[in-house]
A and B are shown apart, each in its own frame.
Chain A
Amino acid sequence: MTSAPPASEKRSPLRIVPWAAAIAAVLAVLPWVIDPYQSILIAYGLVMAIAVLGFNLLLGYTGLLSFGHSAYFGVGAYAVAFMVKYLHVQSMELFIVGAIAASVLVTTLFGYVCVRYTRIFFSILTLALSQVLWSLAFKFFWVTGGTDGLRVPTPKLIGVATGEGEDKIRFLTHGYYYYVLVVFIVCVVVMWVVVHSPFGKALQAIRDNETRARFVGLRVRAYRFVAFLISGVFTGIAGALWVPLNGLTTPDILYWPFSGEIVFMAVLGGFRNFTGPIVGAVVFNYLKTYAVGYTVYWQALLGIVLVVLVMVLPTGIVGTARLLWAYAGRRFSR
C-alpha cells in the first residue's frame, strides 16, 4: 500500500467530477428528448448498473468472484413484493429501507459463511446459497406466488401518489426515471468514496496479495466480510428499484443464470475499472433487449458475444477504450 501509485492515479481522483456531472446532466435531459421506450430501457440499465457496481466491489476490488449475486437482487425485489402483499406499504422510500434491511440480514448470514473461502470455492458456495433462496421462492408458492411471481403496483414517490388516471408510461419515464437516476447517482458517489477510501485501498491490497496484506496487519476476513455486505446491499437496492419498473417479481431473478448475467455485465464493461460495470450494465441491457427482439436464438447470440469478449477483449469496453485512448494520446503527442 505504501508503494507509489500508478501514473494514472497520481492525478487528483476528483478530476472525473466534471465528466460525471456532464453525464448526469445528459441522463437528466434524455426523457424529454428520446421516446418513452428508450427512457425505460435506460432506467433498467441504471438499475442493473447499481447491482453490478455492488457486484464489482467483490470481483474487481476484492478479487472474489460471486456466482450468486442473484440472491441479493432477489432479496431486494422480494422484500418489496412482500411489503406490498402483507404490509400494504406503498411508499418507495420504505421499500428501499425494507430492501436494505432484508439484504443486510441475508448478506450477513451468507457473507459470514462465504468469506472463509476464495477462488472457485467462494464462487460455488455463493452459487449454492443463492439456489437455496431460489428453491424456497419456487416451492413456497402460497407465500411467494411460485413461478407466477408477485405483482407490485405503482408505488408512491416521496409520499406523492400517482393519480388513478395517470399513465403508467408517463410515471415510469418521468417520475420514476428521475427517482432511479437520483438513487443511481447516490450509489455511484457512495461506491466511489468506498473504493477510494483507505478501506477500498485495503481491499485492493488483499486482492493483489493476500499474504502481504495480512503481514501489514489487515484483518483480511473482516475486510472481505464488509466488502461482501456492501456489495450485497447495493445489489439489494437495485432489486428494490427493479420491481416497480418490471411490475412483477418471479423466481427467475433468483435463479443462477441471472447471477451469470451480472458477471457478464461486469466483464462486458471491464471489471478493473470503476466505470466498467456501469457501462457494461447499460450496454448489456440494450444488447439483450435487441437480441431478444431480433431472434428467438438471442441466448446463443449473447453467448457468442460473451465468448468472443473473453477471448479478444478481456478488459471489457472501458478497458479497451482506455487502451485506445492512451495509444491515440501517444501517437498524437509525438
Chain B
Amino acid sequence: MDILVVHLFNALLYASVLFLIAGGLSLIYGVMRIVNLAHGNLFAVGAFTTASAVGVWFAGSTSALLFLLVPIGAVAAAAIGAVVEPTLLRRFYRRPEEYQLLVTFGLLMILEDVMRFLWGPYPISASVLFEKMGSLHVGDYIYPRYNLLVIATGVLAALFLWAFIYRTKFGVVLRATSQDMRRASALGVNVNLVYVEAFTIGCFMAGLGGAIIAPSQPAVLGMGVDALVLSFIVVVIGGLGSLEGALVGALIVGVIREIGISVFPEIELAVLYLIAAGVLFVRPAGLFGRTA
C-alpha cells in the first residue's frame, strides 16, 4: 500500500514538471499558432540559472535566501522569451509552418550552444536545497520532502494559470486574441503586446519547470531536447493549444511513465510515443484540442 503512495507521488512529481513545460508550449501555440521547438531549451535555461545561482554564485548563503533564489531560472527564461518574440519570431507568424519550425529549430541550436558557452560542458547541481529539506516517512519508505514542494508548485502554477486566463481581464483579451486575432485587433486589442506577453508567460512556465527541478537533479546539456519530445507527447495527447489538455496529458504521461519505469523499462519511451501516435490517429486534435 505504502509503495503505491510513493509511486503516486512520483507520478505527480513528473506530471507537475511536464505540465509546466508543456503548458507553456501549448499556451504559445494556442495564442500564436507557432510550435516552438526551442521550448525545451528554455526549460534547460531555467535549470542552469537556478542551479548556478543556488549551487555556485550564492553557495553558502542562508537557506532562506537560497529558496528565494529558486525562481530566478524562470525569470531568466522569461527574459529570453521577451527578447526573442518581438525580434525574431514575430516575422514568421504569417509564413508557412515549415519556416516557423525551422526558425525555432535554429533557435534551439543557438540556445544549446549559448548554454554550453555560459555554463560549460559539466553538470551543475543545486542539491543543497534538496538535502536541507530532508525526507518524511511513508509507511516503511522514506520520501524526499523537496519532491512534495515540486508537486505543490505544479498544482499552484496550474491554479494561478487557470485564474489568470479565466478570471482576469487580461485572460479575456488573451483568449479573444487566440480565437480571432483580427477581430481582437479591430476591437482595439494591442495584439503585438498580447503576443509578447503570452510568449513570455509560456517561457516563464518552462523556466519555472527547470528551476524547480534543479535542486533534485543536476542541470546537464541536452536536457532541453529530451524535455521537448516528452512535452510534445503531452500536448499531442492533450491537444495542442489547450491548457486543460496539457494538464491531463501531463498526468497521463506521468502515470504511464511511473508504471513503465517499474514494469516495462525497456519500452517505456516507445509506449509513450505509441500512445501519442494512437491519440493522434483517433483524435488528431488531441483529447481537448479544437479541431483543426
Residues on A lying within 8 angstroms of B by beta carbon are 59, 65, 67, 113, 116-117, 119-121, 123-125, 127-129, 131-132, 135-136, 138-140, 256-257, 260, 263-264, 267, 271, 296-300, 302-307, 310-311, 314
B280 touches A125 (CB 8 A): yes
Contact partners of B281 in chain A: CB under 8 A: 113, 116
Using a CB-CB cutoff of 8 Å, which residues 147-195 of chain B contact chain A? none
CB distance from A244 to the nearest CB of B (A): 28
The residue that B284 contacts in the complex, of A67, A117, A140, A267, with Cβ under 8 A, is: A117
Distance A311 CA – B267 CA, assembled complex (angstroms): 40
Specify the chain A residue showing the minimal Cβ separation from B91.
Answer: A311
| With contact pairs A123-B97, A125-B277 given, residues A257 and B225 touching in the complex (Cβ less than 8 Å) | yes
- The 8 Å CB contact of A128, one of B99, B101, B107, B233, is B233
Taking a contact as CB atoms closer than 8 A, the residue among B35, B92, B105, B269 that contacts A260 in the complex is B105
13 contacts between A and B (CB under 8 A): A59-B98, A65-B101, A67-B101, A123-B101, A125-B277, A135-B270, A260-B37, A299-B113, A303-B108, A303-B113, A304-B106, A304-B110, A311-B103
Chain B residues whose C-beta falls within 8 Å of the C-beta of A305 in the assembled complex: 106
Residue B273 interfacial (CB < 8 Å): yes
B59 contacts partner chain A, Cβ-Cβ < 8 Å:
no
Shortest CB distance A303–B (Å): 3
Q: Are B280 and A307 in contact (CB under 8 A)?
A: no
Given contacts A117-B284, A128-B233, contact A310 B273 (CB under 8 A): no
Across-interface contacts of A131 in B (CB, < 8 A) = 229, 269, 273
Q: Tell me how far the C-beta of A288 lies from the nearest C-beta in chain B, rounded to whole angstroms.
A: 11
Interface range, B side: 35 or more
Assembled-state Cα–Cα distance A314/B265 (Å): 43
Closest to A311 in B: B91
Q: How far is the CA of A207 from the CA of B70 in the complex (A)?
A: 49
Given A299-B109, A310-B99: A129 touches B277 (CB 8 Å cut-off): yes
B281 to chain A minimum Cβ distance, whole angstroms, is 6
Q: Which of A116, A127, A303 contacts B110 (CB 8 A)?
A: A303
- Asked if A120 and B276 make an inter-chain contact with CB atoms under 8 angstroms apart, the answer reads no
